[in-house]
A and B are shown apart, each in its own frame.
Chain A
């Protein structure tokens, strides 16, 4: 294709220079500019600009209905002494680490199960993904009802089984609330991890397992020395996404607890909404949101190196 492009002007007589418009029409950079324009416009206006604006707002005392003035690091100093902010950081890390670890373990296990030979394989795989398809808020509402203090089906079942003697206050007690929210997040995230890892598993050649079996490898050894190494790159990418989306989660917690009881489940995102939009202190909310950026950069860096390593494994000509 490159030869075609360069040879186009050569067809014309040597002395003749095509008019500017014709040259532009053949110029790839010029055409590409127009092709990129719509996407670039959206991403610059509503992504890059707000990203910068958010950082700027975190240095101002802007409130809803009043533009702010530059106050330096005051928002951050305020947050530094704010125990609720630190509680939200702790909650976010706890939420992310526990939920991601369990999502990974269960997701990988489920992927390995789904990769085995069984009847109705396609249907079972399709069913597994349903929690991921249904909007988070709507399934969170279902969990809200399942966790209800009075009519929880879990409490009811456990009482009937004789394991407990009174209802569990799932969303009213700090630790139960944390556990409940984390469980709902795991429930929603496992299908994504499982199905993407399954796609990776399917590319592993069965003959490797056959060879290993002939050599007397156990199930665990086959997993440890064939599946896991071949799957590492895709695990890196999937888990980065998973960590990223868990860390910045908002809707699940907002629908279930709104950060309560007594801020026990406030994540940084929900606290940012609470302070920024509900209380109207946009500057402070923006500062909390900006404080998430370093964590996100760390996650992106991990993702980047995961991808690099994958390219290296598959040879440089990845595309």
Chain B
């Protein structure tokens, strides 16, 4: 089940003690070599690009290209020039706004559609519900890379080319399968009895969904929401294909296309752009770590 891994921590405090129970068999030097050292190396490799990104974005230009006089791993007189240039001299705020607008719009639409679909599949048990569940799982496996060409002509036909609205309509195809699958897991954990009571009291299906099921599935909704939001922010190929004019672009597309001017000093602004574009997600992640993990593992384990 989706949240087993999460909840297993709280009810089984005894179990965690057990797992610590065997670590006395290992001596400290041994742990150092088999656990801390490899972990440290992996963490350094995983985090180095971000360190480098952050460092470059506050490094003055002359230190960027002079690696003999200045140690490249450190910065002497940090500057906010790149970041302020990015925010005040380019259309970056606009791109950030576009990304946010698309991500919030697409995520909201997808969550609404997914809640309805997941509830219907899990609780209404209509004819063919299982088959629909499987179909939605398969939809999850259809990658954007094989859809962007036909979708470009569909978007063109609907007259939505070069409009962020096209992304709001297209992204749900990536998000709905995932969120539906995740929410199905959450809905299954809600006891039938609650719904039966409500039915006896004369509640309609809609009232049951809105007043009972959704409030109980809030953790699942948060997981689905932030994970979908991250996916939207990350999406690239559709945005690259559908958006043409500079002011309409999203952050990932704009960074790849608009900063590449062959200037040797582009790196400061590029890294600042990457850093500022990543920050909203990292901050969101810092607040909802557990939800992220349950979203990721939930979709895979369900």
Q: A residues within 8 Å of B by Cβ?
A: 1, 4, 25, 28-29, 31-33, 35-40, 42-43, 45-51, 53-54, 57, 62, 106, 109-110, 113-114, 116-118, 122, 124-139, 141-143, 145-146, 148, 151, 153, 156, 187, 190-192, 195-196, 199-200, 202-203, 205-207, 209-210, 213, 234, 237-238, 241, 244-245, 248-251, 254-255, 268-269, 272-273, 276-277, 282, 285-286, 289-290, 292-293, 296, 299-300, 303, 319
Contacts and interface: CB of A to CB of B under 8 A. Distances in A.
Given A1-B195, A32-B126, A47-B142, A39 B49 contact: no
Query: 6 closest pairs, A vs B, by CB?
Result: A32-B126, A35-B120, A248-B143, A199-B297, A39-B117, A269-B145
Contacts of A38: 109, 112-113, 116-117
Contacts of B127: 29
B126 A28 contact: yes
A296 B141 contact: yes
Interface in B161-177: 169-170, 172-173, 176-177
Interface string B6-32: 001000000100111111010000000
Contacts of A139: 49-50, 53, 274, 278
B44 to A, nearest CB: 11
A241 B137 CA distance: 12
Contact of B301 (A48, A106, A199, A272): A199
Contact of A57 (B139, B149, B278): B149
Contacts of B121: 36
Contacts of B142: 47, 51, 296
A137 B256 contact: yes
Nearest to B231: A135
Contacts of A202: 5, 8
Given A113-B42, A142-B52, 6 more contacts: A46-B172, A141-B256, A151-B67, A203-B5, A286-B149, A289-B147
B256 A135 contact: no
A199 B293 contact: yes
B76 interface: no
B154 interface: yes
Interface residues of B, number: 108
A237 B52 CA distance: 34
Interface stretch (B77-85, B87-95, B234-242): B234-242
Chain A contact residues: over half helix, strand or loop, or mixed?
helix
Contact of A116 (B23, B114, B281): B23
Nearest to B1: A319
B33 interface: no
B56 interface: yes
Contact of B153 (A57, A125, A127): A57
Contacts of A46: 151, 154, 169-170, 172-173
A206 B126 contact: no
B50 to A, nearest CB: 7
A38 B15 CA distance: 44
Given A47-B147, A133-B292, A138-B274, A273 B237 contact: yes
13 contacts: A1-B195, A4-B200, A31-B205, A39-B113, A114-B39, A118-B36, A130-B46, A133-B292, A134-B282, A136-B236, A196-B296, A203-B8, A250-B144
